[in-house]
Structure 1
Amino acid sequence: MSASLAALLDGGEMLHMPARVTHARRGGIRHAFAYGVDYLLLAPERVTPCALFSHNRFNIFALHDRDHGGPRGSGTGAAWARSIFARAGLTDVTVALMTQPRFLGYWFSPVSFWLALRGDDLLAVIAEVNNTFGQRHSYLCCHPGFPPITPSDVLTATKVFHVSPFQDVRGTYHFRFSLSPVSAAIAIRQVDGSEGLVATMRGDLSRATPLRLLRAALKRPGGALRVIVLIYWNALRLKLKGAGYRPLPSPPDQEVSR
């Protein structure tokens, strides 16, 4: 791909990333797992639908604006992300989304990433986090003044949102992002004294042709439904290891934090 990532996405291209996702819990009760998951990278304001993918319509794979950006279930998609970036002082960028799409109408994405791009430069990221209790919170990751985020940079945010019922809402997230037109890698480390979690996702990016999407559907059937089954399966494994259950707290007052 000779064009910049922003130019590709602004031109309506959609990229497919068959990612390897890993989670490793640290502390008194250790637990780790890895699985494959299909992410799409696209600019929702520009994306061109194809035979197996639709925008705001039913298909095998689909992106619905109401699933992202703003209150869960009634989001406004890229318009919301643009407003958050603008409120922070960042304008005139390509707004892209890296997410797990709907699969045959079913949607759940533990974390999606809104990206502010200029050429091949990544200037800011909104990590949009959903838990299995119907709640959402987002973390804005950027440098003061918005210089490009490089793979060696570590961006931090205070954990304020309940994700796992087996972890407290405390500690700090350390985010690292590496993005190019041909690959992506994201690492999130939660630090809480001797406890914590390391989550990673990485994969190669290629044009999301109908054939590639069909292969993904056959290789990892179920899409988002498969992912949530894996989440509950690993929750059961943690419970059997003796992990203590935390009751669901109220969500944070603010929609986005740093």
Structure 2
Amino acid sequence: MLDHVAAHTFHVRRGTMKNAFRYSVDYVLTDLDEAKPWLFSRNRFNLWSLWDRRHGGPRGEGRGVAWFRELLEARGFPVARAQLLLLTQPSFLWFHFNPVSFWIALIDGKPCAFVAEVNNTFGHRHCYLCAHEDFRPIARSDRMVAKKLMHVSPFQTVAGRYHFNFDLNERAVDIRISYENGDQGVLATLSGPRRPATSGSFMRAGLRRPFGGARTLVLIHWQAMILYLKRAPFLKKQPAPAALISESENLRVPGE
């Protein structure tokens, strides 16, 4: 299964320093079976591609879906009944950067656990595992709460919490992430329709939004420059988190 999600992402700052932006971005939702469109490949170069080593585990040393499966099994999740998916921004030619990908476990078509695989521009990664204690389906109205542990933006401290609202159905993806630290923070959304991926859809995406992750990286630095010119407080690079994985407050299991 390979779906192309022509999505939009929206970011707005909370607090005294205002800034907001919205842009389009291409994601794929896949069960990591062999890809069929000839402009898309797994683990080999193409116009668009997906590489196992870039997901599931330490950054650059990923093991793909095997990592996600082992993570769930260690916590007693009923993996045998689940469909395991990856929602991510694929590589475009040689360019790759993905601020956040999502590993998703579905049971009977409903998300029951997910991992937000977050990367920053300093080469660090942290994975936030979100689920209910009994692994019941995660409804769109459920707030999955996780303590922020990794430095992402030089304009936000490593404090506070992420509040995830997660909705994945047969028609669309709709994810809301609210970072809250007192009266400061950021609201970020990712939403778009699910459609079967085709070489035509990938060709159109390459023409409308060329360079994929490189374009995302440029947009991130552009917004950082805007905040810098607005004299937003700027923090130097922070150390990487000690652990790769942390669990949401909804999931009461021992940490790794």
Same fold (TM over 0.5): yes
Tell whether the 8 Å contact from 1:61 to 1:103 is kept in structure 2 after alignment.
yes
- After superposition, residues 180-219 of structure 1 pair within 5 angstroms as 180-219=169-208
Superposed displacement of residue 253, structure 1 = 1.2
SS in 1 for 2:74: helix
Determine which of 51, 72, 75 is the counterpart of 2:62.
75
Task: Please say if 1:87 is aligned against 2:56.
Answer: no
List 4+ stretches of structure 1 deviating above 3 A: none
Structure 1 unaligned spans of 5+: 1-12
Determine which of 115, 140, 151 is the counterpart of 2:104.
115
Superposed displacement of residue 49, structure 1 = 3.4
Structure 2 unaligned spans of 5+: 248-256
How far apart, CA to CA, are the structure 1 residues paired with 2:130 and 2:36? 29
Amino acid at match of 2:4: H
- TM-score if structure 1 supplies the norm length? 0.93
Identity, % of aligned pairs? 45
1:161-219: CA deviations, max 9, x gaps?
Answer: 10001110000110001111110100000111110110001100000011111111111
SS in 2 for 1:244: coil
1:134-156: CA deviations, max 9, x gaps?
Answer: 11000001001100011111110
Instruction: Give the number of equivalent residue pairs.
Output: 245
Task: Please say if 1:49 is aligned against 2:36.
Answer: yes
How far apart, CA to CA, are the structure 2 residues paired with 1:178 and 1:208? 20
- TM-score if structure 2 supplies the norm length? 0.94
How far apart, CA to CA, are the structure 2 residues paired with 1:133 and 1:157? 21
Determine which of 225, 229, 237 is the counterpart of 1:240.
229
How far apart, CA to CA, are the structure 2 residues paired with 1:33 and 1:180? 26
Aligned twin of 1:35: 23
SS in 2 for 1:23: strand
Determine which of 210, 217, 221 is the counterpart of 1:228.
217
Determine which of 24, 27, 31 is the counterpart of 2:12.
24
- After superposition, residues 101-140 of structure 1 pair within 5 angstroms as 101-140=90-129
Determine which of 141, 147, 150 is the counterpart of 1:158.
147
SS in 2 for 1:238: helix
